[in-house]
Amino acid sequence: MHNTKYIFVTGGVLSSLGKGISSSSIGTLLKQSGYKVAILKIDPYINVDPGTMSPLEHGEVFVTADGAETDLDIGHYERFLNVNFTKQNNFTTGQVYLSVIENERQGNYLGKTIQIVPHIVDEIKKRIKSVGKNFDFLVVELGGTIGDMEGLPFLEAMRQIKHELPKSKVISIHVTLIPLIKAAGELKTKPTQHSVQELRRIGISPQIIVARCEKPLSKELKKKLALSCDVDDDSVIEAVDAQSIYQCPLNFLKEGILTPIARRFELQELRPQMQDWDALVKKIILPKDEVTIAFVGKYLSLKESYKSLTEALIHVGANLDARVNIKWIDSQNLDSSNPKIIDDTLGDVDGILIPGGFGERGIEGKMIAITYAREHNIPFLGICLGMQLSIIEFAHNVLHIKEANSSEFDPNTPYPFIYLIEDFIDQQGNNQIRTYKSPMGGTMRLGEYECILAKGTKILKAYNDQSLIKERHRHRYEANPKYKAMLEEYGLLISGESKNGLIETIELQDHPFFVGVQFHPEFTSRLQAPNPIILEFVKQSLESKNKTSK
Ligand code: GLN
């Protein structure tokens, strides 16, 4: 029988307080203390998953190894804990209702009236327990803020689990804001008091308060919070804005969060091994070197939609002891009729990165950046759409096939260098590829796939000569193998393929470092294990910068 301990994390006062980072930090400290830890994110919205939501609504869609489109917090959990989670680690109100309604249609409730209590709440409890089994700790983060109507069934499920289990198996942590009223120069505790009162009204009394604040809390204020929120004096954990999110576990440790956790769970003193983590964080805060990478995308106001990639650049920087400065370039501002703008924009960068993307907007500018990287020998990494566009750019400017395109942008192109996977499946009669019909009608290739890297390639070297790698995908279109021989003849090498012949990686032979990958390497990057191809790209950019500055 499993003996899981549950840590319920709720948020008070307002959203965006960093509940995800708090949950990840607590998880990290427990994992580094030698325990098996999982984290679950519950999203109270009604969408079944964030896959169909606009990045405007939701930030990045994170893809798990098993091919689920999940909340970006799952990305933080994996990055902090350095483990792979699954589609079970994120569920929504939509999923819960869908299961209950399907059960009802099949007559599984034996004619009962289906209600929020017990049926919806039971389904939530079942899902929480199923994620927790086989783990020592399950941290459950509830999205939204206390007081949200749609969060109520989840809070009831948490209350019931607390009621059913011994006291030493469940702890409730409330992450809240202590606002600073600038005019008075005062930190205010009242919103937190109200938020905790609301939680208590529902039947949950938190044992720990994580207090987000702009400046440190005085001893008196902490005592006042402890008294008014009815927690022990050592259980108000100050969370002052940090320079890096990776500092948070260290800050929580310094604040003594493990003392009340160990006490409640009746454990011996917890001693997490944080030396390596600490060393990496020091390199994030005070690195020896720096490098500037052009990040050529669209919708740059939505940096949250590139979260995994910007985090991956931080991981890589920490491991290279160099700050990775991102020069954000809106591809819509690059225009071939104005070479001066192109030079001014890209002339001073050490590397050029084109991330994934959907739709036609801004692709012209991305191709201009690709040409610039290719012709000026600037280290280049193209991810997903970035790889697809580098093939099209090569076809236009090296093979001189001006009509080469992706069928995403021109369904009738006579030269579909990039085309729909469905075509490929049909041609080959091959149904081994795991694809998902999206409710919007498309088919996505999602999740982890194996890729075989060719001998003597730069990418193989980047992956430490490991020829079979696994990376995650999220795309509909693919490079067309029909043009493989032609591309290779002119120097664009197909350096990695799937077992069934899909083109997964490319590289230019006559270039210091020009690599494209069909997968999203950023989804597997962690602070303690940066992704190899992103690491190599930034390393090459750094070396090229240091060579030119000598
Ligand atoms: N739009 C391209 C496709 O669907 C690339 C997707 C991506 O970059 N994630 O294949």
CB burial of residue 225 (10 Å; 0-12, 13-18, 19+): buried
Residues 69 and 203 reside in one and the same domain: yes
Task: Select the more confidently predicted residue: 408 or 26.
Answer: 26
β strands within 134-284, DSSP E: 137-142, 170-177, 180-181, 186-187, 208-213, 236-240
- Domain assignment present for 429: no
Element (H, E) at 149: none
Q: Is 19 marked as binding a ligand?
A: yes
Atom of ligand 1 nearest to the CA of 383: 8
pLDDT digits 0-9 by tens, 145-157 = 998 999 999 999 9
Q: Which amino acid residue places its CA nearest to atom 8 of ligand 1? A: 356
* Distance between Cα 453 and ligand 1 center (Å): 21
pLDDT of residue 352: 98
Distance of CA 327 to the CA centre of its chain: 21
Q: Is 486 marked as binding a ligand?
A: no
Residues 62 and 163 reside in one and the same domain: yes
Q: Is 511 among the catalytic positions?
A: no
CB 100 within 8 A of CB 120: yes
* Distance between Cα 54 and ligand 1 center (Å): 15
Instruction: Report the C-alpha gap between 298 and 302 in whole angstroms.
Output: 9
pLDDT of residue 50: 77
Q: Which amino acid residue places its CA nearest to atom 6 of ligand 1? A: 475
Check pLDDT > 60 for residue 331: yes
Q: What b-and-e string marks burial along 61-83, b requiring 16 or more CB atoms within 10 Å of the CB?
A: bbbbbbbbbbbbbbbbbbbbbee
Last residue of some domain: 260, 279, 298?
A: 279
Residues 297 and 226 reside in one and the same domain: no
- Domain assignment present for 459: no
* Distance between Cα 118 and ligand 1 center (Å): 42
Could you tell me the CATH number of the domain that includes residue 111?
A: 3.40.50.300
Residues 12 and 62 reside in one and the same domain: yes
Q: Is 408 marked as binding a ligand?
A: yes
Show the ligand 1 pocket: residues with CB < 6 angstroms: 356-358, 384-385, 408, 474-477
Region 9-21: what's the mean pLDDT?
88
Name beta bridge partners: 7.
139, 171
Region 99-117: what's the mean pLDDT?
93
Check pLDDT > 60 for residue 74: yes
Ligand 1 pocket: which of 306, 360, 388 to mutate (most atoms <8 Å of CB)?
388
Instruction: Report the C-alpha gap between 475 and 445 in whole angstroms.
Output: 5
pLDDT of residue 358: 87
Q: Is 522 among the catalytic positions?
A: yes
Q: Is 303 marked as binding a ligand?
A: no
Instruction: Report the C-alpha gap between 497 and 452 in whole angstroms.
Output: 5
Region 29-55: what's the mean pLDDT?
90
* Distance between Cα 388 and ligand 1 center (Å): 8
* Distance between Cα 62 and ligand 1 center (Å): 14
Q: Please, what is the angle between helix 339-346 and helix 363-375, to 10°?
A: 70
Q: Is 471 marked as binding a ligand?
A: no
Element (H, E) at 516: strand 514-517
pLDDT of residue 341: 87
Residues 37 and 182 reside in one and the same domain: yes
Could you tell me the CATH number of the domain that includes residue 377?
A: 3.40.50.880
CB 357 within 8 A of CB 474: no
Q: Is 421 marked as binding a ligand?
A: no
pLDDT digits 0-9 by tens, 163-172 = 999 999 999 9
Check pLDDT > 80 for residue 429: no
Residues 298 and 237 reside in one and the same domain: no
- Domain assignment present for 149: yes
pLDDT of residue 303: 79
pLDDT of residue 300: 66
Region 353-363: what's the mean pLDDT?
91
pLDDT digits 0-9 by tens, 364-390 = 999 999 999 999 999 999 999 999 999
Annotated catalytic residue, options 384, 448, 511, 536: 384
Region 299-325: what's the mean pLDDT?
91
Last residue of some domain: 279, 302, 321?
A: 279
Residues 298 and 267 reside in one and the same domain: no
Q: Is 198 among the catalytic positions?
A: no
Check pLDDT > 70 for residue 2: no
pLDDT of residue 143: 93
Atom of ligand 1 nearest to the CA of 444: 4
Atom of ligand 1 nearest to the CA of 408: 1
Region 535-545: what's the mean pLDDT?
96
CB 376 within 8 A of CB 511: no
Mean predicted lDDT score pLDDT of the chain: 92
Look at the block and give the residue holding tokens 């690195």.
287
- Domain assignment present for 105: yes
Check pLDDT > 90 for residue 55: no
Ligand 1 pocket: which of 306, 476, 520 to mutate (most atoms <8 Å of CB)?
476
Annotated catalytic residue, options 123, 156, 520, 536: 520
Look at the block and give the residue holding tokens 């206390």.
146
How many domains does one find in the chain? 2
pLDDT of residue 304: 80
3-state secondary structure of 78: helix
Confidence tier at 437 by pLDDT (50, 70, 90) = very low
- Domain assignment present for 465: no
Residues 214 and 348 reside in one and the same domain: no
Q: Is 420 marked as binding a ligand?
A: no
Atom of ligand 1 nearest to the CA of 520: 9
* Distance between Cα 519 and ligand 1 center (Å): 10
Residues 375 and 500 reside in one and the same domain: yes
pLDDT of residue 549: 73
Atom of ligand 1 nearest to the CA of 359: 1
pLDDT digits 0-9 by tens, 395-404 = 999 999 999 9
Q: Is 189 marked as binding a ligand?
A: yes
3-state secondary structure of 107: coil
Residues 222 and 304 reside in one and the same domain: no
* Distance between Cα 58 and ligand 1 center (Å): 18
3-state secondary structure of 493: strand
CB 527 within 8 A of CB 80: yes
pLDDT digits 0-9 by tens, 464-475 = 999 999 999 999
Distance of CA 345 to the CA centre of its chain: 28
Name beta bridge partners: 181.
186
pLDDT of residue 54: 74
pLDDT of residue 132: 94
Atom of ligand 1 nearest to the CA of 358: 1
Ligand 1 pocket: which of 385, 406, 480 to mutate (most atoms <8 Å of CB)?
385
The pTM (predicted TM-score) of the whole model is 0.91
Confidence tier at 101 by pLDDT (50, 70, 90) = very high
β strands within 438-485, DSSP E: 443-453, 468-475, 477-479
Confidence tier at 15 by pLDDT (50, 70, 90) = confident
Residues 331 and 198 reside in one and the same domain: no
pLDDT of residue 550: 59
Check pLDDT > 60 for residue 296: yes
- Domain assignment present for 469: no
Last residue of some domain: 279, 298, 319?
A: 279
* Distance between Cα 384 and ligand 1 center (Å): 6
Residues 111 and 45 reside in one and the same domain: yes
pLDDT of residue 435: 47
Q: Which domain holds residue 344?
A: 287-418+477-549
Range in 290-294, 421-425, 500-504, 505-509 with the lowest mean pLDDT: 421-425
pLDDT of residue 422: 65
Region 479-501: what's the mean pLDDT?
94
The candidate with the shortest Cα–Cα distance to 258, out of 32, 60, 517, 97, is 32
- Domain assignment present for 217: yes
- Domain assignment present for 55: yes
